Amino acid sequence: MSFSEDNATRIQCPPFFDGLLCWPRIDALMTATQPCPPASIMGYANLQTDNVDVLASKVCLANGEWFRNSDGVTWSNYSLCALDTRHIIDDGIERLTWYPRWYETVAEATLLNKWLPIIRTVSQLGYATSFLTLVIAMMIFSYLRKLRNPRNRLHMHLFVSFIMRAFMALLKDWVFVEGIGLAWDVVFVGTSAFIKERNPWVCKIITSLWQYFIVANYSWILMEGLYLHNLIFFVPCTDTITMYVLLGWGIPVLIVVPWIVTRATIEDTLCWTTHENPSLLLVIRGPIMLSILINFLLFINVVRVLYVKLKASMYLQRKKMKYKKWARSTLILVPLFGIHYTFFLPLSYCKDYQIELIWLFCDQLFASFQGTFVAFLYCLLNGEVKMEIKRAWKMRQSKRYINSFVHNHRQFSKNLRDGINRKRHRSKNEEQSVGSSLAAKTMKKLSLKEFK
């Protein structure tokens, strides 16, 4: 250990453990230095620059206290230990949060610190709302058996993919500390958080499941687009959804498993929430972008066919009504096909931090609330579903009325029978009483005659 002395006095700072390194007692106005933490610690390594070891440092103030940051927390300087390689975190929020050194000015950092908590709150609110509305929609489809046609069964699989994506996103925000790891794997140094274990496998399982359900959600959006496209162009092919189910849940496995193998063998860092090598992220992002583009082409073709059919319709005499109905049909298809992803896709590669921040807000807003839109459009506000709910409610009310009528009728019959039985019993008792009285009188007369 080495020390750099500047006007030292005998006032000393006490020994201190900051969660990563143990700092010894040193004199005031001195700076303690130590080798950087081992590479197993989050994002740190014992780097060398021009054959000179880079060091972590900690400053002892003149009053014998360790230096504190603006938040009043004892602070150690590990900035030289940080890897120069940029880390790309899968969730855009963490990507902007963890490495503010990407951004060169204080104004940029201030803007990020202002908006990132807002974006995270919007995302959590959106996923929570989607989770609740989709669960209600699933309960409706499960309860009303007459709605279980192939199209609605396909919708149910789409709902499940949205539900699991929302659940994993909320779970990840809940159990991950600062988006990097589980509470028992993270140590804080001041306000900074670091992974203390090299291979925390539990959080990697959570991250892998999170990635799987993200890919599965995009996969099922594609399956919905394919189904609707085939329904219009190849009607006989839409009688069964077995192929769509196998593809919808199977394709994500073929995408995520290679990503897991790649991360475990090439870049086994943190909880796999970061990507030091951006090309590894393409293992997942590539197929997702391809599905978005395919869905966009299917959407264009379906909208074209709808326009042609409406244009040829004899029922729509006025052009204004025709375009209004076509526009409404088109807007309904937008959340089903995930068309908004197509427009946000180019923005995700923009290097300007302001545009990236706008993209991040829009992406998180639409991605988190998309499940809510789908649940309302294809279940909660659907005319067929509302009609079936009313019919089921009327049947339930009728059944309740019939059961009440039968119960009352049975109770009335029972009361009537009880009344008749009581009357018969009373009449019988009266007859027995009269008979007994006559017998007594007869016996009395006979006894009087014998006495005489």
Q: Which two tokens stand for residue 257?
A: 């498993």
Does this model's pTM top 0.75?
Answer: no
Can you name the residues that pair with 269 across neighbouring β-strands?
Answer: none
Residue 163 has pLDDT above 90, yes or no: yes
The reply to whether 12-77 and 115-386 are identical in fold is: no
What sign for the dihedral angle of Cα 161, 164, 166, 168? negative
pLDDT tens digits along 168-199: 999 988 888 766 677 776 766 655 566 666 65
- The residues, ordered by sequence, that sit 6+ positions from 245 with a Cβ below 8 Å of its Cβ are 157
Task: Report the alpha-carbon distance of residue 323 to residue 316 in Å, rounded.
Answer: 10
More confident residue, 146 or 441: 146
Tens digits of residue pLDDT in 384-414: 888 888 887 777 777 666 766 666 667 766 7
* DSSP-assigned states of every residue in 220-250: HHHHHHHHHHHHHH-GGGGS--HHHHHHHHH
C-alpha to C-alpha distances, 262 to 10, 200, 218, 255, 285, nearest whole angstrom: 54, 17, 21, 11, 14
Least confident of 1-5, 248-252, 273-277, 376-380: 1-5
Q: Domain 12-77 in CATH: superfamily?
A: GPCR, family 2, extracellular hormone receptor domain (4.10.1240.10)
For 84-99, write each residue's pLDDT tens digit.
Answer: 433 333 443 333 333 3
CATH, range 115-386: 1.20.1070.10
How far, in Å, CA of 418 to CA of 43, rounded? 87
The span from the CA of 181 to the CA of 443, in Å, is 107
| Sign for the pseudo-dihedral over CA of 43, 44, 50, 56 | positive
Instruction: Locate the domains of the chain by residue range.
Output: 12-77, 115-386
- Diameter of the chain measured on Cα atoms: 153
**E strands in 18-164:** 22-23, 26-27, 30-35, 48-49, 52-53, 55-59, 88-89
Q: For position 220, what pLDDT does the model report?
A: 94
What 3 state SS string does 363-375 have? HHHHHHHHHHHHH
Burial class (CB in 10 A: 0-12, 13-18, 19+), 206: buried
Query: pLDDT category, 83, cuts 50, 70, 90?
Result: very low
- Name the 3-class secondary structure at 45: coil
